[in-house]
A and B are shown apart, each in its own frame.
Chain A
Amino acid sequence: MSIKSKIFSAMKQIAEEQKVTLPPLEDDLSLNETGFDSLAFAILVARLEDELGVDPFTVAEDAAFPSTLGEFVRAYENVPA
């Protein structure tokens, strides 16, 4: 499973738990429009750290938090292995 599909699958799981209806997941979807609040993103980042072994937003101290879903996914894809 690609990083992108792992992220989407984790998001769907959290959406189900938090009773959030996700819009179709596309690269240019603004994170604000996902329906996720900061807690949901905090949970997502923690679970992805366990699954992928990395938290790109803590690794780079000055990293700006992404604004679209595509940027969010790339933050994980672009972490040096």
Chain B
Amino acid sequence: MSQPDVVALRQYLGPELKERTISDARHSVSLTDIVQHSCLTGRSCELSGRSVLLATSGQLLSALAMIELDGVARRLLLCPPDIDWDRLQVLLEQADIDTIVTDRPLHRCTAGKYIVIGVDLPERRAMGSEVDRATEWLMLTSGTSGLPKIVRHTLDGLAGAIIADGPVRYRNATWATFYDIRRYGGLQIFLRAVIGGGSMVLSEPGEAVAAHVARLRAGGVTHISGTPSHWRKLLMSGASADFAPDYVRLSGEIADQAVLDGLARAFPRASIGHAYASTEAGVGFSVDDGREGFPAHLIGQNHAGVEMKVVDDSLRIRSRRTARAYVGAAAPPLTDAEGFVDTGDMVERRGERYHFVGRRGGIINIGGLKVHPEEVEAVINRHVSVQMSRARSRRSPITGAIVVADVILADGTDAARHETVRAEILSQCRDCLPVWKVPAVIRFVERLDVTAAGKLARTDA
């Protein structure tokens, strides 16, 4: 099925823009002449029309292969690093994968079942595969338990928000993200770099914050994105002191006022925006006024091709940027009858603004009264001595559950002040929240886990 009018990723990589690079901690690859080179080894000429799993050990090779395969492969399944082989097997069946592009030794049982093609730094001349189709981009949802779902996007939809922003706005930008680019939030930033004519500095798993920031500075990063948890970790590390980006973006979790204010203090020169996006619903909108929540007028109208409504307190989104469908034999429908994706992100209107209060599945039930952990955290995080917090459910023989909170205090908080700080946090919670939402117990902890997708780990959710 030939679609000659389709624009593939490589077509944004003309030779006219000089000195564009993409780098990780070990390698820097020029994007300026990337189209003349191939990162694929072996029978790479056979990739046309194939359903490809892209499973590389690092992000850089995935980035290069995405550029080379978009417009060539029938579908491209991006494999995040934390998927184990057993779960991957099931997903490969569901996605009808026939080819694996990888730099890793493969599990024995793949032998004969798939065409396997190697991937390496682009040191060979490109064979010049034809761009003749709109490749389906398959991504995995970042659900915390069970098997992730596969969602199908098009490049057109993935890039919808970037095109709407006007890509030229970001020419010469050097992008970075704390995300992995094989997940939706990270892929958005990679596409912004490629489509907008910029460069990119990739994150490295396990890299210390200070080393990462040193690389961001050395790479001249101007635009950077991450989840509020990523940003809180950076602010806590103290490594932000010598880093001065122009643009700081938050997405993937609720951006509360405390983290927005913290970033504004740390990066006084930067414009700070928080975006709403999810793997299924695509990029909904971004807010640049430095305040938590979003203007109520965004609901019920069509803004730049995105329509939003609130049904049973959950945000629903319809646009060309949403995924096209879930993939797999028994895949559930992605949208409601009118084409809206139900995000499961719960909102509450306060005056002229909507605020995100939490996930539908994360509600704690306290003797019949409900609370979202995120709304409790938002209040706790306002205390000046708090860096980060997590509210969670604890079983109770009396009410079934109660809310408790784990709190990381700012560096240098005197241990002698702990009881005062605890009392202040509790008093702040009592002032802002109904009584059942006030944590019964506050525990001070050294660290809180963040998932591979950059979100605060919520084991009880």
Q: Residue A57 at the B interface, CB < 8 A?
A: yes
Check if A45 sits within 8 Å of B398, measured CB to CB.
yes
Asked, given contacts A17-B426, A18-B435, whether A42 binds B399 with beta carbons under 8 Å apart, the answer is: yes
Would you call B413 an interface residue if the criterion is a C-beta within 8 Å of the partner chain's C-beta atoms?
Answer: no
> Which of B367, B426, B440 is close to A46, meaning CB atoms less than 8 Å apart?
B440
- Chain A residues contacting B430 (CB-CB under 8 Å) are 17
Interface positions of A (Cβ within 8 A of B): 17-18, 38-39, 41-43, 45-47, 50, 55, 57-58, 65
> Judging by beta carbons under 8 Å apart, are B441 and A41 in contact?
no
Q: List residues of chain B with CB within 8 A of the CB of A42.
A: 366-367, 396, 398-399, 402, 440
Q: A41 to B441, alpha carbons, bound, how many Å?
A: 13
Establish whether residues B436 and A58, one from each chain, have CB atoms under 8 Å apart when the complex forms.
no
Given A17-B430, A18-B435, A38-B367; A43-B397 close (CB under 8 Å): no
A39 adjacent to B366 (CB under 8 Å): yes
Could you list which residues of chain B lie within 8 angstroms of chain A, going by C-beta atoms? Answer: 366-367, 394-399, 402, 404, 426, 430, 435-436, 440-441
> CA A18 – CA B426 in complex, angstroms?
11
9 A-B pairs whose Cβ atoms sit less than 8 Å apart in the complex: A38-B398, A38-B399, A39-B402, A39-B435, A39-B436, A42-B398, A42-B399, A43-B441, A55-B397
Residue contact B402 to A50, C-beta cutoff 8 Å: no
In whole Å, how far is B123's beta carbon from the nearest beta carbon of chain A? Answer: 60
Name A57's contact: one of B398, B404, B426 (CB within 8 Å).
Answer: B398
Residues of A within 8 A of B426 (CB): 17
- A45 surroundings in chain B (CB, below 8 A): 396-398
Q: Known: A17-B430, A18-B435, A39-B435. Is A47-B440 also a contact (CB below 8 A)? A: yes
Query: B440 — which chain A residues lie within 8 A by C-beta?
Result: 42-43, 46-47
Extra contacts besides A39-B366, A42-B398, A45-B396 (11): CB < 8 Å: A17-B430, A18-B435, A38-B399, A39-B367, A39-B436, A43-B441, A46-B394, A47-B441, A50-B441, A55-B397, A58-B397
Contacts of B397 in A (CB 8 A): 45, 55, 57-58, 65
Given the contacts A17-B426, A38-B399, A46 and B435 also touching, CB distance less than 8 Å? no
A38-B398, A57-B397 are contacts. A46–B436 as well, Cβ < 8 Å? no
